[in-house]
Structures are given as C-alpha cells and as structure tokens.
A and B are shown apart, each in its own frame.
Chain A
Amino acid sequence: MMKHLEIQEIVKKYNGKPVVNHVTFDMNLGEFVSILGKSGSGKTTILKMIAGTIEPDSGGIYLLGKEISRVPTQKRNIAMVFQEYLLFPHLNVAQNIEFSLKVRGIEKNERTKRMFELLELVQLGGMEKRFPHELSGGQKQRVAVARALISKPDILLLDEPFSSLDFNLRNEMCSFIKSIQRETKTTTIMVTHDREEAMKISDRIVIIDEGNIVQIDTPKGLYNNPTNMFTAEFMGDVNILKREEEFSYMIRPEAMSVSSFRKEGFNKSKVVEKTFLGSSIHYKILWENTFLNISGMNNSEEYSLGQEIYINLPDEKIIKVKHC
C-alpha cells in the first residue's frame, strides 16, 4: 500500500557538516508523528524540508506518491503552525483564518462559510472580528491552527507548538490539538524537545540525535523496549544494572518491587536518599555496590532514611540496550 508521506534518505549539510543525515521514515494517513530531539539535533531542519522552506541536498520526499522536495512551498498542500504563531498583525481573526483560501482565489461566500466552520472547530465562535493583539496566547494558537487547517492540508506541520505557552495552558492545548487532529483526520508531524508532550499526543515518535534517527516506535514501545542507550535515557529515568562492552542492562524505577521485610527472591538494600514529590516519593537505595532509583506512590508504604528494605528485579523487566 502507498504511504501517505515517505521521507527517503534525506541529507542536509551546512558548511560540509551534516545536520540531517540520511533520514528515512514514513507516515500513514491520519497519523500523528512527533520528531523528538534536543535543540540542534536537526529536527526543525527536517520539518523545514517537508514544508519547503529549505531544499534537501539529496534524498526524496514523497507526498501521496509524488516527489515534492523541489516543489515550491506554496504549491505543496502543506500547512504549518509556527512556534510564535505568527498571525498577520494587520488582519483580524476571520481574515487570518481565510488567508489561504483567499490566495487560492476561492470566492467570498465559500470562504466565510469555511471560516465559521473552523472558528467553531477551534472554539472561538464570536471572536472573528478581533485582531491578534487582542488575543491571549492560547487563542492565538487556536487561530493559527484554524488558519492552517482551513485549506484541508495533506499534512499539518507543528513547530514546537506549545513552547510559548504557560505550563497549565500547555496541557490543555495539547489535548485540544490532539482532539482536533482526530476529528479532522489530518496527518500531522510535530517537532518538539519535550518528551512528555510527545508521548501524550503522538501515535508514533521519531527520536533524532545529531541528524540521525535513533529509533522510531509508539510512545509505549520506546519507553518499554528501547533498543539503545540514548532512547532509554531520553524517554525516562533508568537504572543501569550492568555495563558490558556492547550492551548495558537496565531497569525502569517503577519496574522493581519493594518490600520492608525479607522475601523469597528479594535482595537486601538500604535507603540513602528520600525525595517527596507529591503524588510519589523517590528513593535512592544502595544495593550491593550500586545506587538505584526507585519510586513509590504516596499512598503506599513509606520507608525512612537508613531503613533496610528488600527489592526484586524481575528478569522480564530488565532491558538490554546497545551503546551508541
């Protein structure tokens, strides 16, 4: 079956140094994929190549089977929501949302009809006459999303969409965008450096580091079955049990069982540090010669500093990862 979007072996170099290095992945129709990486990892460059603001040095981008990497931005049916929203300051909400229909020469009545549909979709009914400077951060973002979706793009690109929002608003907008994406079945790519954000919203995540794809999987797959050290550490806290030449063995903090008394298969250890975090409590314990991090829920049994406790490391929860 033909994929909705295929990225094949794209390379982009600046001053001879590859920023994006033979990146390949594909997407199905209606899928939500996040490109997750640290700043400077090349993730935004990939997005810009899909958007068409920069051209790859080599490789191909296929949208609905058609190679588009040399097609000018405005001729690709792609919409992008930028980090700073970038609403046109001289246009009101309605005119901002209508913009892409206007430049495509669609007549006024049709435009207005579509604009009101989108306004409803992003829950901004009645705000069509406002200007960008009269809107809050969250409202601006909703307008930016509506403006991007009105032309029914083949792909929606989101560039760090939540980074300019306050913490509380961030969660709200995250689930809001997810629901809109589901409702409109828009194939979406988001670039972010925030792991939790990516896990909450994505069907699949592409982890990228120094221009290379490290691993692609569902959020759950990446967390539970990382194939390499980078992914394992990037996706959450991890305890390294043993290092070998090529592989390491590790376990997630919540995968260990803890008991305050001796049990079959449990090993003795000692609490050396305790941090209260509200819903959970984190402990640092000393087991043989290794420090381990474990966490317990606030409503379960609490251990005190210096207490001897017993831990169990189930074999099936131990992850074997490659060094990279």
Chain B
Amino acid sequence: MLRKINNNLQFKKSSIPYMLLFPLLILYILPLCISMLLILVQSLGFIPGLGLNELTLSYYMKAFCDDAFGSAFFFSMGCSTICSIIAVVLGFFIALLLSNSKRKGILQDILQIPILIPHFTAAFMMFLLLSQSGIASRIMGSLNIISDQSFFPQLVLDKLGLGIMITYIWKEVPFCALVIFASMKNIDDSLKAVSNSLGASKIQYIKYVLLPLCMPTMLNTFIIIFAYNFGAFEVPYLLGPTHPKTMAVLGYISYIAPNILVRPYTMALNVIITFMSIVLIFIYIKTLDSIKALEGQI
C-alpha cells in the first residue's frame, strides 16, 4: 500500500522539507502572520469597514501620551521581571534538591500539580489563601495576632502587584525546577569528581561548574516565563489593582470596550505591547550574555 503511494510521489529531494512544512505553513504560519499584519494595519488607522481609510501614526502618539500607558508599562515590566527572576532562582535550588536525592521522591510528582492548573485558577487559589478574608488571615486571627481581617496586609488587588507576583511564582517555580532539573541530569557526573579532585568544595562545584552549565537553560526558561507574565492578562485582570493596570489588561479592556471607534487605538496598544515584549526579551538576552562574559573575566 505504502509502496504504491510512494511510486506516485516522486519528488525532487530538495523539495522534501518544504513539503513536510506545508501543513504548518497553511494552518499555523499563515494565520499567525496575517493576524499580526491585520493588527498592524488597523493600528495605522486603516479600517475600511468603519470608514477609516487613511494611514496615520496619531493613534500611536495618543497611546504614548496617555498617563495610564506609562504607569502600565513600568508596572508590567517590574512585576514580570521580579517574579520571573525569583521563579528561575528558586527553580534552580529545587532542581538541586531533586538532583541530590537518590530516589525519585514525592516532591517530583507534587511539582507537576501547579503545571496542570491554569493561571486563572491559580489566581483564585491565591485569593483564597492571601486575601484579607483568606486562610492566612484567618490563621493569624485564630492565633490572636490580628483582631480584625482589615489588619491583614493587602496582598491581593494591591498596588504593588504582590498578588500577581505570588501567583506567577507559585505556578512557575515547579516548571522552572523540572526544566532545570532535566538539564542538570544531562551534565556528566564525573565533572563533580574532577572538580573535587581539583580541590573544589561542594558549594564551589555548584557555583563554578553546575550553575554556569545550567545557565543557558535557565536563561531560556526565564525568557519564556517572562514573556508569558508580561503578556498574559488573566492573573492581573483577576488579582491586580484597578490602577495601575498591566499592559495586557489595558489592551484587553480597550478591545472589549463597546466604543468601536477606539479600535485603531486598541490595535496600536497591542502593537506596542508586542514590540516592547520583543525588545525587552532582546535586551535581557544581551544583558545576560554580557554578564556571563564579564564573569569569565573575573
């Protein structure tokens, strides 16, 4: 059967990879590129359906002049950078813990749980735990540390974005830990024996050998979760304060606004968010590379 199909399919060898990529092209690359292009065109004020036919940059100007926009940018960037760094660092230590235990313990199974739970459910769980009427506050109340729930610090819907960050950290540390652990397992165990024989202590081995060898994976992981945290809207939408909003929440709210004439503005906002996300990731890659190069010098 296969042989028959085969004989009818005689192609030039160099065209094989392109044929293999055909389904990807039709069902993934084209829709992705076209939708991004549509956003771009609409952001330039070209929506014939709404009678907008002129190309203009004015919507971008409007976005940049908006106060909400500036505060949203710093709020998003701050929150996502801080919690991504914390998640990767904690992930590294948990990976160390995993690689030091001889048998596969319960910890490795439990780490899968937060990966299964979607971000918005995680947000709700953190609300149950950390809101002023949440479990943490109740425990402190029962122990008479606080006499009323209003004395419990505002950890969700707060201006610093603590609730957002705690949710992201809880959800993403296990992911980081498992990915970093997988790359640790690929490092030759004998390198530990070598560095011991050269006089390095266990901590020096971790610092000078294990950590630098895990660095590329950690950087990749950081970029992935940073990009997610910067661009996702569910968690800050549920746990963030009304002001400042994150960029993603701003983009979403503006899109579902009933006034259809703000459409080009929404699209401009989304182009900017996308652009900034890419630029920030580019900057992080460059900075981390140069830090690594610097370390080599010392």
Interface residues of A, Cβ cutoff 8 Å to B = 51-53, 72-74, 77-80, 82, 84, 86, 88-92, 95, 99-100, 102-104, 108, 147-148, 151, 157
Interface centre among A73, A84, A151 (most CB of B within 10 A): A73
Q: Are A103 and B200 in contact (CB under 8 A)?
A: yes
Q: How far is the CB of B218 from chain A (nearest CB, A)?
A: 13
Q: In the bound complex, do residue B191 and residue A88 qualify as a contact, i.e. CB atoms below 8 Å apart?
A: yes
> What does DSSP make chain B's interface, helix, strand, loop or mixed?
helix
Report which of B194, B204, B298 forms a contact with A82, defined as CB distance below 8 A.
B194
Output the least CB separation between B217 and chain A (Å): 12
What are 24 A-B contacts defined by CB distance under 8 Å? A51-B197, A52-B196, A73-B193, A73-B196, A74-B196, A74-B197, A74-B198, A78-B197, A79-B197, A80-B193, A84-B190, A86-B188, A86-B190, A88-B195, A88-B209, A91-B212, A92-B296, A99-B200, A99-B208, A100-B198, A100-B199, A100-B200, A103-B208, A147-B198
The docked-state distance in angstroms from the alpha carbon of A73 to that of B208 is 17
CA distance A146 to B195 in the complex (A): 14
Give B184-228 interface residues, CB cut-off 8 Å to A: 188, 190-191, 193-201, 204, 208-209, 212-213, 215
Q: Contact at B193–A53, with CB atoms within 8 Å?
A: yes
Contact B194 A80 (CB under 8 A): yes
Which of chain B's residues have a CB closer than 8 A to the CB of A89? 213
| A277 CB to nearest chain B CB (Å) | 39
Chain A residue at minimum C-beta to C-beta distance from B203: A103
Docked complex Cα distance between A107 and B295 (Å): 15
**B123 CB to closest chain A CB, in angstroms?**
38
**Residues of B at under 8 Å CB distance from A?**
188, 190-191, 193-201, 204, 208-209, 212-213, 215, 296, 298
Least CB distance from B213 to A in Å reads: 6
Bound-complex Cα distance A72 to B195 (A): 12
CA distance A73 to B201 in the complex (A): 9
In the bound complex, CA of A74 to CA of B199 (Å): 4
Q: List the B side residues contacting A53 at CB < 8 Å.
A: 193, 196-197
Contact A104 B196 (CB under 8 A): no
Known: A99-B200, A103-B201. 17 other contacts (CB 8 A): A52-B197, A53-B196, A53-B197, A73-B193, A74-B199, A88-B194, A88-B195, A90-B215, A91-B296, A99-B198, A99-B208, A103-B195, A103-B199, A103-B204, A103-B208, A108-B298, A157-B197
**B200, A86: Cβ atoms under 8 Å?**
no
Query: Cβ of A86: which chain B residues have Cβ within 8 Å of it?
Result: 188, 190-191, 194
Q: State how many angstroms separate the Cβ of A272 from the closest Cβ of chain B.
A: 50
Contact indicator B197/A73 (Cβ below 8 Å): yes
Closest Cβ–Cβ distance, residue A68 to chain B (whole Å): 13
Residues from chain A with Cβ under 8 Å of B199 in the complex: 74, 77, 100, 103-104, 151
Knowing A82-B190, A86-B190 touch, does A99 contact B197 (C-beta < 8 A)?
A: no
Chain A minimum-CB-distance residue to B209 = A88
Contacts of B212 in A (CB 8 A): 90-91
Nearest 10 interchain pairs by C-beta: A100-B198, A73-B196, A80-B197, A103-B200, A103-B204, A86-B194, A90-B212, A100-B199, A74-B199, A74-B196
Interfacial chain B residues near A151, Cβ < 8 Å: 198-199
A102 shortest CB reach to chain B, Å: 7
B198 engages A79 (CB within 8 Å): yes
Docked CA distance A103–B204 (Å): 7
For the complex, what is the distance from the CA of A104 to the CA of B212, rounded to whole Å?
A: 19
Which chain A residues border B193 with CB–CB below 8 Å?
A: 51, 53, 73, 80, 82
For B201, list chain A residues within 8 Å (CB). 74, 103
Partner of B208, one of A52, A80, A92, A102: A102
Picked from A72, A90, A95, A148, the residue with its CB within 8 Å of the CB of B198 is A148
Q: A82-B194, A99-B208, A102-B208 are in contact. Are A90 and B213 (CB under 8 A)?
A: yes
Residues of B within 8 Å of A88, CB to CB, are 191, 194-195, 209
Inter-chain CA distance A151–B195, complex, in Å, is 13
| Chain A residues in 8 Å Cβ range of B209 | 88, 90
Please name the residue on chain B nearest to A80 by beta carbon: B197
| Complex Cα gap A120–B191 (Å) | 25
Distance, CA A73 to CA B190, complexed state (A): 13
A120 shortest CB reach to chain B, Å: 20
Chain B's nearest CB lies how many Å from the CB of A31?
20
Chain A neighbourhood of B197, CB < 8 A: 51-53, 73-74, 78-80, 148, 157
- Complex: A157 Cα to B193 Cα, angstroms: 13
Separation in Å of the A110 CB from the closest CB of chain B?
A: 15
A103, B190: Cβ atoms closer than 8 Å: no
Q: How far is the CA of A52 from the CA of B200 in the complex (A)?
A: 13
Q: How far is the CA of A53 from the CA of B195 in the complex (A)?
A: 11
Q: Which residues of B contact A91 (CB under 8 A)?
A: 212, 296
CB distance from A43 to the nearest CB of B (A): 17
Q: Which residues of B contact A102 (CB under 8 A)?
A: 208
